[in-house]
A and B are shown apart, each in its own frame.
Chain A
Amino acid sequence: MRAFGYARPADAGEAAALLRAGARAMGGGTDLLTQLDRGILPADEVVDLRALGLSGIEHDGGGVRIGATTSVADVERDAGIGERFPGLRQAAGAVGSPQLREMGTVGGNLCQQVRCWYFRHPDLQCWLRGGETCYAQIGDHRKHGLEPGDCISVAPSDLAAALLVLDAEVETTGRRMPLADLYRKATAERRSTLVLEPGEFLTAVEVPRAPDASTYVIAGERAAWSFALVGVAAARFGDDVRMAAIGVSNLPRPLDPDDPAAGLPGLEMTRWKRRLLETLASDARAAVGR
């Protein structure tokens, strides 16, 4: 591991100050440390957010509030979530490996970097990393996204898909917003898929009410411990079915339940993923009824 400093402040203001000074925010560290080690994200200092008292799951009324540094495994094991938000529990269970679920935090999971073997290649500097080229589009993109754009990497957060269909909101150090607004397309000027400003970090995610039914279905490259090739979440509130997917775009993406592959044409090497998306969308829809 390359050398860098480490701070574990107990005060959010101190953490924010360190982050404004250029430090990297860390939850479980499972995504961050591999990026630091490969030189994808250079950093002199890492700020561990786990001593800020941001862990915990609170059920109140119909909703649930999950602290940003709550581990993914604790979400998966929470009885209330399992009962009222089965799609969220399934998504938590689909994250990485058992050890990564124990270490990984909800905030870190929502803010993790895109998956792309060029983005994570130690010797290449792709467009999203500030370079000139999206290597994936001229190279081997068999597992990449279906949405045209400057970058065809894929958003990997299973939790994001499950929370999007629940109308979740995220709370940061400075504001509150719908989860969907946490993400935006990277631009030439700003090569990031998150809207967070320097010094800003997630403190909690809140789901306002429980759906009548919810589910999360994933297709991976093996039976377990695989980032989703495609993951589809669905929730039904009365007659209203919401759907979202990961693995198809570099943002967690809402889908039209009646036409899930709309706007997702893919390239020649990824066209197969449209079929997969349609299958999973149909399975998800069947699971939530109507």
Chain B
Amino acid sequence: MQVRLTINGQPHELDVAPHRSLADVLRTDLAMTGTKVACAEGTCGSCTVLLDGRAVLSCLTFASACDSSKVATVEGSTPLLERLRDAFTAHDGFQCGFCTPGQLMSAVALLQRTPRPSRAEIRTAMAGNLCRCGAYEGIEQAVAAAAEAG
């Protein structure tokens, strides 16, 4: 199927089999391996990207269902994403870093909608992104700090 996507502001035209996930197409066809797949069944949040502004699981999203959509991934560069990068660094919001791309994209979605979230709102919005290393404290502080800096 022919699919037109705008990824991090860049237009792409792709020919993909209908059952292929957005995560797979990003990683394989576009070599954008920043988006990680850790469970491939919608449970961990590692593959989170923004689809027309919503934080979605790219492992359970057909690329073919995203025609004419805007996709934002960790490879992008926006002032908000840069602020979050700095804050994750300053607050050690990661250990192994495998969940980090998904964490960042969930944080972007949260702060776009709720620029000054409470701690409880941060916890609610980030609860779909598992971090097995347990860097959550730093993640929570980083999201709060990025909001403050905004």
A contact set with B: CB distance below 8 Å: 1-6, 8, 29-30, 33-34, 37, 48, 50, 71, 73, 93, 96-100, 102-103, 223-225
Give the residues from 51 to 93 in chain B that come closer than 8 angstroms, CB to CB, to chain A: 54-57, 60-62, 64-65
A-B contact pairs, 25 of them (CB 8 A): A2-B19, A4-B19, A6-B1, A6-B19, A29-B65, A30-B42, A30-B60, A33-B42, A50-B65, A71-B54, A98-B124, A98-B125, A98-B126, A99-B48, A99-B55, A99-B57, A99-B128, A102-B54, A102-B55, A103-B54, A103-B57, A103-B60, A103-B61, A223-B127, A224-B127
Contact partner of B127 (CB less than 8 A), chosen from A30, A34, A73, A98, is A98
Q: Is B20 an interface residue (CB 8 A)?
A: yes
Q: Please determine whether A6 and B45 come into contact, CB atoms closer than 8 angstroms.
A: no
* CB < 8 Å A-B pair total: 78
Residue with the greatest number of chain B CB neighbours at <10 A, chosen from A99, A100, A223: A99
Q: Contacts of A5 on B, CB cut-off 8 Å?
A: 18-19
A33 to B40, alpha carbons, bound, how many Å?
Answer: 10
Give A169 Cβ to nearest chain B Cβ, in Å: 28
The number of residues on chain B lying at the interface, defined by a beta carbon within 8 Å of a beta carbon of chain A, is 29
A188 CB, nearest partner CB in chain B, Å: 30
**Once the chains bind, are A100 and B19 in contact (CB under 8 Å)?**
no
B35 contacts chain A at the CB level, 8 A cutoff: no
Q: Is the CB of B65 within 8 A of A97?
A: no
Q: How far is the CB of A284 from chain B (nearest CB, A)?
A: 21
Known: A6-B18, A29-B61, A225-B127. A34 touches B1 (CB 8 A): no
Instruction: Report B-chain residues with C-beta under 8 Å of the C-beta of A33.
Output: 42, 60
A103 and B56 contact, CB distance less than 8 A? yes
User: Which residue of chain A lies nearest to B63 when distances are taken between CB atoms in the complex?
Assistant: A6
Question: Is the beta-carbon distance between B123 and A48 smaller than 8 angstroms?
Answer: no
Instruction: Indicate whether A8 sits within 8 Å of B60 (C-beta atoms), given known contacts A99-B128, A224-B123, A224-B127.
Output: no
Residues of B within 8 A of A2 (CB): 19
Does B100 sit within 8 A of A, measured CB to CB?
no
- Top 9 closest pairs, chain A to chain B, by CB: A97-B128, A6-B18, A224-B127, A102-B54, A98-B128, A99-B128, A225-B127, A99-B57, A34-B41
Q: Which of chain B's residues have a CB closer than 8 A to the CB of A73?
A: 54
Chain A residue nearest to B64 (CB atoms) is: A6
* Structural contact, B60 and A97, CB atoms closer than 8 A: no
Partner of B18 from A4, A37, A103 at Cβ < 8 Å: A4
Query: Measured between C-beta atoms, what is the minimum distance from A48 to chain B in Å?
Result: 6
A3-B19 Cα distance, complex, nearest whole Å: 5
Contact among A4, A37, A48, A99 with B56 in the assembled complex (CB-CB below 8 Å): A99
Given A4-B19, A100-B42, 11 more A-B residue pairs with CB atoms under 8 Å apart are A2-B19, A6-B19, A30-B60, A33-B60, A98-B124, A98-B126, A98-B127, A99-B42, A99-B106, A102-B56, A103-B54
